[in-house]
Amino acid sequence: MRFDKTIELIINEEVEDGQGGREQLEKVIFTLNANIEELSVVETFKIYGVATTDTIKARVLGNIKENIDKIRYNNNFYKIISKRIVKNKTVFLLEVIEDGI
């Protein structure tokens, strides 16, 4: 299994803007090497019971315990459908976030 792709784990952080308000910022907390597997709609439905398009499975080494809001891969943002820890790896099932969301 090759961990030859790069993903960025992103959290949303609220920061005070200095005028009494708050502003949402995206903060990259980790840049990790990952093994990426693209899943077809049929595979996704059989395995997870969810049929979506543009679904990928990302495996990274280590136990990621932080709450991640989204992941960037290949200049696309993905939301996390599920997260599992298998032995010494964390496995994310990801769905692409459309432009308007």
Amino acid identity at 39:
L
86-95 pLDDT per residue, tens = 999 999 989 8
39-80 confidence digits (pLDDT tens): 776 666 666 666 666 788 999 999 999 899 999 999 999 999
- Mark residue 18 as left, alpha or beta (left: phi above 0; alpha: psi -120 to 50; beta: remaining): left
Return all residues near 58 (Cβ < 8 A) that are at least 6 apart.
5, 7, 34, 35, 36, 37, 71, 73, 91, 92, 94
At 17, the pLDDT band (50, 70, 90 cuts) reads: confident
Model pLDDT for residues 22-39, shown as the tens digit of each residue: 888 889 999 999 999 987
Q: Which helix (H) or strand (E) holds 19?
A: none
Q: For the chain, report the end-to-end CA distance as a whole number of angstroms.
A: 33
Q: What is residue 41's three-state secondary structure?
A: helix
Specify the pLDDT at position 99.
64
